[in-house]
Structure 1
Amino acid sequence: MDVAVGIVAQRNNERAQALAATLVDTIEREGARVVVDELTGEAVDATAVPVAAMAGRDLVVSIGGDGTLLFVAREVGPTPILGVNLGEVGFLNAVAPDDALAVVTDLVADLEETGTVEGRELARLQATGVDTEWTLEPALNEVVVHGPRRGHGGGATIEIRVDGQQYAESHADGVLVATPTGSTAYNLSEGGPLVHPSADVLVVTQMAATESMPPLVVEPDSELTLTVSGTDTAYAISDGRNRQRLEPPATVSISLADDAVTLVGPQANFLDGLDKLE
């Protein structure tokens, strides 16, 4: 099989760029076709393309922290991703830099021999408008609905419904719906529970609600709607980056996205990673 690999290095990180250069040389000697992201291409002698153009390749290697992998996942969707960890915690990036060369070489060899690599699928969330037609880019961590600005003083009244039944309605800084992957991110900082990566659930967490309910764990196929009112402007935000301006009263539907993210190679030890959380 003619194997095609993409490599994305953390922006402005010389260590990531040096590792990318080493991987390019090694993979090309193995006979695979390699491209790097455009910024890395300014420092590495390799064909450079936009990260989105790596969608559909056999493997994409993300070198950096979890933030870099989140960015790669947004751009390449279900394309298999290997995370090399240059960050602190590394819930998504299981491979140490010293091991990257051997792991990537083994994956390329598997692809050449069988055409596939084993991986773990991570669910993503899709936020869509109920009153108006819009859809945010899928979220690997969480979808947040909040008032005119994030944080205290920017709240709104937000009603939470699960399968058509009201769970809570309160003035709050916001409400977030998180995947198991996102349980260690914004959800945790807002008092939500940790969720083991193998659990097939979603978490609904209010943010500084005046009449708060405990965070709610629901089945992933639950019908979740968040209705925001009591403010002139509100926002729905996917993974802290993609946002949709709302004109309250407005209802947002949150469900599983069609395509999951596929992580390949060694998997991170979730419980060990918890020790690194601040």
Structure 2
Amino acid sequence: MRVGIVARRGNDRAAALAAEVREHLRESGAQVWIDEATADTLAIDGHPVARMSDCTLVVSIGGDGTFLFTAREVGTTPIMGVNLGEVGFLNATSPADALAELTRELDHIEHEGEPRTRTVPRLRVSGEDISLPRALNEIVVMGDRGPGRGAEFTIEIDGSEYLDSHADGVLVATQTGSTAYNLSEGGPLVHPDVPALVVTDMAATDPMPPLVVDRDSEITITVGDGDTAVVADGRNRAALAAPATVTIGVADEPTRIAGPPLEFFSALDKLD
């Protein structure tokens, strides 16, 4: 059994917990790979995070940003998130419970061959000269000329027009991402068990309310003018030269989350 560990960079608490988790896993008989940045801090050998797609389980230690990074790199490999952030919608395990939860997962792997997981969708975006990794939270098509300037956008849902307006951008979120950037743009909260996507315009001249659509919907966004960009999970960006059209939908490969179930309503109490 091989288990990967990815800890938040530059965080002493995350590195210390990673060392503790590593020792616990090694005592349990698992082979352990730790990310290169954390390994440097601990003065041990490390591995590229992308290589951890070969692991049985990957442990992400940090906030949602660390989890998103890990998910992007390891694909469908199960990830158990240990929460060092303030909210932790993706990281359901507390540091105090990390070793006990890992023991449960290791026992399950030993008897069943894999950890217990729940799947959450990821988004794919396609368009001419667009190549971006799958997004767990959201994909944003936005004006690339500064806030308040934006571009002309047309949104179609399964071929039917929903919006035609000047806007700062258009945000498409999964139910997982409804608590992230979507929320700050006035989009609704969506329970994790609801198979839906949220389409939210960003400061449109002729706005429409945020729209919740079926998870299998195809969302087509046409940019009529201006220099724009497509951004996946706030990290990966691709330039888009208008006029241009992109299509957003659910990818075939989901993210698999291991560990205890998310206490969604308890996490909501931590939102400001």
Query: TM-score band (shorter)?
Result: over 0.9
SS at match of 1:52: helix
Structure 2 counterpart of 1:60, one-letter code: V
Shift of 1:194: 0.4
Normalised to the residue count of structure 1, the TM-score between the two structures is 0.95
Q: Hey, what does 2:208 align to over in structure 1?
A: 213
Extract unaligned runs of 5+ from structure 1: none
Matched residue, 2:85: 87
Given that 2:105 and 2:116 are in contact with CA atoms closer than 8 Å, whether structure 1 keeps it comes out as: no
Pick from 168, 172, 175 the counterpart of residue 173 of structure 1.
168
Asked whether the 8 Å contact 1:34–1:47 carries over to 2, the reply is: no
Deviation at residue 150 of structure 1 after TM alignment: 5.0
Tell me how far apart the structure 1 counterparts of residues 207 and 187 of structure 2 sit (CA, whole Å). 12
Give yes or no for the alignment of 1:145 onto 2:141: yes
**1:53-72 pair list within 5 angstroms:** 53-72=51-70
What residue is the counterpart of 1:269 in the other structure? 263
Q: Pick from 137, 144, 156: which aligns with 1:161? A: 156
TM-score, normalised relative to structure 2: 0.97
Indicate if the aligned counterparts of 1:202 and 1:217 stay in contact, CA closer than 8 A. yes
Distance (whole Å) between structure 1 residues aligned to residue 245 and residue 43 of structure 2: 49
What is the distance in 2 between the residues matched to 1:121 and 1:47? 31
Deviations 1:157-213 (A, max 9, x none): 100001111111100000010000110111111110000000001000000001001
Percentage of matched positions with identical amino acids = 55
Give the counterpart of 2:188 among 176, 184, 193: 193
SS in 1 for 2:234: coil
In structure 2, the partner of 1:227 is 222
2:188 partner letter: P
Q: Give the conservation status (yes or no) of the 8 Å contact 2:199–2:211.
A: yes
Between the aligned partners of 1:262 and 1:20, the Cα distance in structure 2 is: 21
Q: State the 1:43 CA deviation.
A: 2.3
1:201-244 deviations in Å (ceiling 9; x for gaps): 1000000001001111111111210001132x111111111111
Q: How does 1:17-166 map to 2 (within 5 A)?
A: 17-44=15-42, 46-129=44-127, 132-149=128-145, 151-153=147-149, 155-166=150-161
Q: Are 1:184 and 2:182 an aligned pair?
A: no
Which amino acid in structure 1 is aligned with residue 244 of structure 2?
A
| Contact 2:123/2:135 (<8 A) preserved | yes
Aligned-pair Cα RMSD in Å: 1.1
**Partners of 1:140 and 1:181 within 8 A in 2:** yes
Which residue number corresponds to residue 237 of structure 1? Answer: 231
* Shift in CA distance, 185/150, structure 1 to aligned 2, threshold 3 Å: farther
Cα distance between partner residues in 1 of 2:147 and 2:261:
34
Partner Cα separation in structure 2 for residue 194 and residue 152 of structure 1: 25
How has the CA–CA distance of structure 1 residues 141 and 149 changed in structure 2, closer, same or farther, with 3 Å as cutoff? farther
The number of residues matched between the two structures is 272
C-alpha contact (below 8 Å) 1:7/1:62 kept by paired residues: yes
Amino acid at match of 2:57: L
Check conservation: 2:108, 2:116, Cα contact below 8 A: no
Question: Retained in 1: the 8 A contact 2:141–2:171?
Answer: yes
Counterpart residue identity of residue 167, structure 2:
A
CA distance in 1: counterparts of 2:73 and 2:67, whole angstroms? 10
Deviation, 1:253, is 0.4
Instruction: Report deviation, 1:116.
Output: 1.4
The AA in structure 2 aligned to 1:273 is: A
Q: Take 2:86 and 2:107, find their aligned partners in 1: how far apart are those partners? A: 30
Counterpart of 1:200, as a letter, is: P
